[in-house]
Amino acid sequence: MGLLLVFDMDGTLIDSEQSIVRCFQESAGKFGYDVSDVPKYIGVLKLTQILKRHGVSDVDLPAIMKGYVDCYLNTFALDTKPMGNSPSVLKELQKRNELGILTLKNFGLTVEIAKRFFPGIEFKYIVGGDLPIEDKVEGLKYIIDQSGKDPKQIYYIGDRASDVKSAHEVGMRAVWVSFGLGKLSDFDFESDHKVANSFDDLLDLFSSRA
């Protein structure tokens, strides 16, 4: 059945920066930690890795992450929304292609977000950062193994230059979406990735492919 299109979550499928920053800073702040620079790490590092970079002790780590997850689950609908017309585009794309999600976000959060914002969309593969995987390269390798597909028949679609680099590292193809959290200036390496400036571009790119 066509291609396997694997999507990043934050900055690609959903506009979630405000929710993540709000809940992360609130939870870490209760323990006296300043994580005000979290936006530059969203989708690049796992939240536990961000906390460790900020000197969070192993003792405080579980409680901060529990506070973050509780906050996000209870309030993400306040300031998280799907990117553009992503729900309708995904419905079209799944007619000819399989869909998946790879994110460093907690698996449970990812499933809840997918249910709320993308009803009727079948994501055959959903991989979260608590699989456990250390990074997106490990996650993409897991998807390759699970799907049994030739990596060249799989696209990873994300908003960070690191997403493109991770896809290339495992032999996949990549699409960079310019409307997310990443910047063109982050590409300090050569790449033959495709670019989508909107979800309609993704529809044009994939709907006609076998």
Prediction pTM value? 0.94
CATH number at residue 129: 3.40.50.1000
Beta strands in 143-210 (DSSP E): 154-158, 173-177, 194-196
Q: Say how far apart CA 64 and CA 126 lie, in whole Å.
A: 24
- Give the CATH number for residue 33: 1.10.150
Are 53 and 116 found together in one domain?
Answer: no
The 10s digit of each residue's pLDDT in 127-163 is: 999 999 999 999 999 999 999 999 999 999 999 999 9
Whether the predicted pLDDT of 9 surpasses 70: yes
The pLDDT of residue 210 is 41
Domain shared by 25 and 96, yes or no: no
Residue % of the chain over a pLDDT of 70: 98
User: Do residue 94 and residue 30 come from a single domain?
Assistant: no
Q: Please give the pLDDT value at position 208.
A: 59
The parent domain of residue 129 ranges over 4-15+81-206
Predicted confidence (pLDDT) per residue in 65-110, tens digit: 999 999 999 999 999 999 999 999 999 999 999 999 999 999 999 9
End residue of a domain, out of 27, 61, 79: 79
Are residues 51 and 86 located together in one domain of the fold? no
Instruction: Clarify whether residues 125 and 177 are in a common domain.
Output: yes
Per-residue model confidence (pLDDT) at position 28: 97
Residue 1 confidence class, pLDDT cut points 50, 70, 90: low
Separation of alpha carbons 77 and 117, rounded Å: 9
Please say if the pLDDT value at position 207 is more than 80.
no
Residue located via tokens 């309708």: 88
- pLDDT above 60 for 205: yes
Which one of 41, 60, 79 terminates a domain?
79
pLDDT band at 43 (very low <50, low <70, confident <90, very high): very high
Same domain, yes or no: 159 and 99: yes
| Predicted pLDDT of residue 89 | 97
Picking from 120, 142, 118, 116, the residue whose alpha carbon sits closest to that of residue 129 is: 142
Residue with tokens 């990812």: 110
Q: How many domains does the chain have?
A: 2
In the predicted model, what is the mean pLDDT of the chain? Answer: 95
Judgement on whether residues 8 and 34 belong to the same structural domain of the protein: no
Percent of the chain predicted with pLDDT > 90? 96
